[in-house]
Chain A
Amino acid sequence: MKTVICAGTSTSGKTAVLKQVIKKLIAKDYRLAFLKIDVQYAEEDELFKQEFGIPTKKVYSGELCPDHCNVMVLGDAIEWAAREKAQFLLVETAGLCLRCSPYIEGSLGIVVVEATSGMNLPRKIGPMLSLADIAVVTKIDLVSQAEREVFRSRILEAAPNINIAESDALHGIGLNPLVKKIIESPDLQFPLFLRGNPPVGTCTICVGKKEIGWKQHFGVVRPLENQLFYRGE
C-alpha cells in the first residue's frame, strides 16, 4: 500500500485537490481510503464517502496538537486501510501546526499552497514546505502570470528541490503530474518514520499549566531575548 500525506494551511485547497486526485485515481480503477484529521470539525470524510463511495474516516485531535495526533493514529489508520484493501491511503491533515509536518519517510508528502496567499507564505511555513516532495499551488485562476512566477520563485527559494504543480483545483486543471507521481510513489516500508525532526514541545504548557511567562514554567522554555534552554530537573 501507498500513503499520501497532504498538508497545507486551512482553505489552501487540500480538499479540492484531493477530490480531483480521487476522481482521477478512481477512473483508473484504483482502490482508495481517505483519512481526515482536524481539531474539532471536519466533513470531508462524509463528502468523499458520499460522492465516491470510498471508505473514509475522521479523527478529531481535540486537546492534542493535530499533527502530533496524526503521528499517533497513522499506524492504526494504515492497518484499517489495508483491511479495506485500499491501494492508496490519502490523508488530509488539519494544517494548523506548521512545524510538525507529519510526512513519512519513503512515501509521498504533498503541501498545498494557495497562489492567493501572498508572497511571504512560502517563507513562513517552514518544514511543511521544505520537507514535502510536491508543492501544489492552487487558485492560479485568480492571479496573474507575473505573480505566479514570483510565487513560484519564493517556493523554490524555501525548497530548492521540490516539484511544483500549478493548478486550478476547482476544475482539476494541472493535476495530472501529481496523480502520476502518486501512482509511481513507493510502497510503504515498515517501520515508518517521520521525516525531519519534530520541534521540541515538552514544557509545562503542554501539560496544562496556564500561567503566562517562561518563569512560571519548566522544561524547554525561552525568554524573549534568548534561545531555548532547559529549565528544571
Chain B
Amino acid sequence: MQIKKITIFGGYGKSGEKDKVEQVTFKMGQVVSIVGPTGSGKTTFIEDIELYANENTPSMRKVLINDTAATEDFSSNPSDHPIALITQHTNFLSDMQVKKFLMTHASIRGSSSIETIVEETLDFANQLTGEAIDVNSAMTELSGGQTRALLIADAVIIGNSPIILLDEIENAGINRTRALELLKRYEKIFIFVTHDPRIALLSDLRIIMKNGAMQKILVTDDEERRVVEEIKKMDDFLLELRTHIRDGEKLTEQHVENRLRDLGYLS
C-alpha cells in the first residue's frame, strides 16, 4: 500500500474533555513533533496511531490512513502494518542472536537480498551507538542504547515502515543528531514525542498536549527556523562537552571560555 497521508480525528482527554484539535493530517515526508508536560498524553496519542485506533481505545480517537479506517479481522498481518512505534521502554525479549533475528525478520518481509539488507541495518544502527553491536550476541544482551538503535534501524530498513513513531528518542542513549540526519534521508512520516527543542523545531509542525488532549497545532515558521540554528549551536556545544567528559578528559574554565568565545557568546 502506498501511504500518502494519515489523519487523526480528535477524541477525549483524561477527564473526558474533547480534544481541542478536531482533526489533523500528516502527509508523506513530513516530520511532526508531539510536545507537552510529563503525563500530558503524548505517548497515549502516538499509541493511538500505532494501534490504528478506530474509536476503540480509551481516548476514542479515530485514525485514517489514506482516508481509510481500520478494519477488524484476522487478516491483519503485522508485516502489512505501515506503522512502527519505538517506545520509551520497548526492549528485545528474545534471546535469538542478533544476526539470526535480523535475517529471520528480513526473510519474513520477503527481502530479496537478505545479507545486504541486514548489513545495511547493522551499519545504520552502529552509526547511532557508541560501541558497535556484536552480531553474535543475543538480542537481550544488547545495551539500552544499542537496543534502541537496532529497533530504529530495523523499523526503517528491514521493516521499511512508511510511518515511524519515536518516543523520546533524546533519552534513548543514542546519538540523536546523527539519528535525525540519517532518518531525514528516508521518505517517511516521522512522528517524534519529544522534550527536546531542537527536534521540536526541526519538525514541520508540532502538536501541543495537555491533560490527555490535543490543545493546538503550531507550524514551524521562518523565525523559528532561524532560532533553531542558535539552538543547534548551543546543543552541539553541550554535546561536545559531553564527548570531552566521556573520553575521560578534565574540563577547565579556560577551555569553556575559549569555546564560548569561538561560538560568539563572549566578546
A-to-B contact residues, CB < 8 Å: 115-116, 118-119, 134, 142-150, 152-153, 163-166, 171, 173-174, 176-177, 180-181
Determine if B57 is an interface residue (Cβ-Cβ < 8 Å).
yes
Tell me if B101 and A143 are in contact (CB < 8 A).
Answer: no
Tell me if A153 and B74 are in contact (CB < 8 A).
Answer: no
Tell me if A147 and B56 are in contact (CB < 8 A).
Answer: no
Determine if B223 is an interface residue (Cβ-Cβ < 8 Å).
no
Give the nearest-CB partner of A119 in chain B: B94
Q: How far is B109's CA from A35's CA once the two chains are assembled, in angstroms?
A: 41
- Please name all residues of chain A whose beta carbon is closer than 8 Å to the beta carbon of B108 when the two chains form the complex: 149-150, 153
Tell me if B105 and A143 are in contact (CB < 8 A).
Answer: no
B88 CB to closest chain A CB (Å) equals 12
| Interface of chain B residues 72 through 98 with chain A (CB within 8 A) | 72-74, 77-79, 81, 84-86, 90-96
Give the nearest-CB partner of A144 in chain B: B90
Given A144-B86, A171-B57, does the pair A177, B155 have CB atoms closer than 8 Å? no
Determine if B167 is an interface residue (Cβ-Cβ < 8 Å).
no
Tell me if B74 and A149 are in contact (CB < 8 A).
Answer: no
Which of A145, A152, A174, A176 lies in contact with B155, CB distance below 8 A? Answer: A145
Q: How far is B74's CA from A152's CA once the two chains are assembled, in angstroms?
A: 12
Given A173-B56, A177-B74, does the pair A145, B161 have CB atoms closer than 8 Å? yes
Given contacts A150-B108, A163-B74, 20 further A-B contacts (CB under 8 A): A116-B93, A118-B95, A119-B96, A142-B90, A142-B91, A143-B93, A144-B151, A145-B78, A145-B81, A145-B159, A146-B154, A149-B79, A149-B105, A149-B159, A150-B94, A152-B77, A177-B72, A177-B74, A180-B72, A181-B74
Tell me if A173 and B57 are in contact (CB < 8 A).
Answer: yes
Given A118-B94, A152-B77, A152-B78, does the pair A146, B158 have CB atoms closer than 8 Å? yes
- Please name all residues of chain A whose beta carbon is closer than 8 Å to the beta carbon of B79 when the two chains form the complex: 149
Determine if B51 is an interface residue (Cβ-Cβ < 8 Å).
yes
Q: How far is B81's CA from A174's CA once the two chains are assembled, in angstroms?
A: 14
B-to-A contact residues, CB < 8 Å: 51, 56-58, 72-74, 77-79, 81, 84-86, 90-96, 101, 104-105, 108-109, 151, 154-155, 158-159, 161
Tell me if A148 and B78 are in contact (CB < 8 A).
Answer: yes
A112 CB to closest chain B CB (Å) equals 15
Q: How far is B95's CA from A145's CA once the two chains are assembled, in angstroms?
A: 16
Q: How far is B79's CA from A77's CA once the two chains are assembled, in angstroms?
A: 41
Q: How far is B105's CA from A118's CA once the two chains are assembled, in angstroms?
A: 15
- Please name all residues of chain A whose beta carbon is closer than 8 Å to the beta carbon of B159 when the two chains form the complex: 145-146, 149
A–B complex contacts, Cβ < 8 Å, 13 sampled: A115-B93, A119-B96, A142-B90, A143-B90, A144-B90, A144-B151, A145-B85, A146-B101, A149-B105, A150-B104, A150-B108, A153-B108, A177-B73
Q: How far is B139's CA from A119's CA once the two chains are assembled, in angstroms?
A: 12
Tell me if B72 and A146 are in contact (CB < 8 A).
Answer: no
A174 CB to closest chain B CB (Å) equals 8
- Please name all residues of chain A whose beta carbon is closer than 8 Å to the beta carbon of B91 when the two chains form the complex: 142-144
Give the nearest-CB partner of A147 in chain B: B94
Q: Enumerate the 10 nearest inter-chain pairs by beta-carbon distance, A residue then B residue, closest first.
A: A163-B74, A176-B72, A119-B94, A145-B84, A146-B154, A153-B108, A144-B90, A148-B78, A149-B78, A116-B93
A25 CB to closest chain B CB (Å) equals 16
Give the nearest-CB partner of B147 in chain A: A144
Q: How far is B103's CA from A150's CA once the two chains are assembled, in angstroms?
A: 10
Q: How far is B95's CA from A98's CA once the two chains are assembled, in angstroms?
A: 23
